[in-house]
Structure 1
């Protein structure tokens, strides 16, 4: 299946510990991720959090709720979060967030890797890129800009 990878970064006026704590809690993704309207079935393990996020798509007057399974792991506690997303239709997304302390606060770098069937690629990659831009802008708003 085709794979697409892209990344963006933003600097926020908060410590890496504060940003990590915010991003490690699934409920904070409601509104942080633009399509996520609910989080449910949260399971917390020592180095992993699993949950179902509900994405809401609107097509004119039609609405479609898409439940996606998310597994967040913390390979570098306090500095890195890896989210593995499994969505219907064979869509797989991996988002890796790296946090680096800088004099102004924290540099948040996110790399997104999308694997999906070729016919879905333009829609899925477009939505993922748009969501990433929104997520980083909203995170900067929540955490403050330097």
Structure 2
């Protein structure tokens, strides 16, 4: 299966600790990721958090299994996503101080069957950019 990778870096108006705390809570992804409408079955085991996120598309709801590995010292988070259709996605988020805010870099690697590749890439990139915009909005609104 083809593997594709891309990254996006942006700055939010909040310190790294606040951005990290927000991203480390699976419930924050409802609305943060534009397709995620609910999160359920959250389990924490040390530095790993697993949960099911429900993605709503136009004609169906897609349950995806997510395992998030947390590293508050870096600070960084890695989410491994297993989705129906043999789609696998890895999102690695790193945070760095940027003046009074935080530079956020999200690197995504996605593996998908050839038949879904173009659609999956388009969706993953669009979601990444919308998530960046929403995180920026949330961090400036809560400041």
5+ long unaligned stretches in structure 2? none
Displaced runs of 4 or more, over 4 A: none
User: Is contact 1:39-1:52 (8 Å) kept?
Assistant: yes
User: Is contact 1:20-1:78 (8 Å) kept?
Assistant: no
Alignment match of 1:108 (pick from 96, 104, 107) = 104
Aligned length: 142
Q: Could you tell me how far apart the structure 2 residues matched to 1:76 and 1:98 are?
A: 10
5+ long unaligned stretches in structure 1? none
- What is residue 122 of structure 2 aligned with on the other side? 126
TM-score by length of 1: 0.93
User: Is contact 2:66-2:80 (8 Å) kept?
Assistant: yes
Q: How far off its partner does 1:78 sit?
A: 5.3
Q: How far off its partner does 1:27 sit?
A: 0.4
Q: Does 1:137 align with 2:112?
A: no
Change (3 A) 1:78 1:17: farther
User: Is contact 1:55-1:65 (8 Å) kept?
Assistant: yes
Q: Greater helix percent: which structure?
A: 2
User: Is contact 1:16-1:78 (8 Å) kept?
Assistant: no
1:46-100 Cα offsets, whole Å, 9 max, x none, are: 1010000000000xxxx20000000000245351000000000110000000000
RMSD: 1.5
The secondary structure found in structure 2 opposite 1:110 is strand
Alignment match of 1:72 (pick from 68, 73, 78) = 68
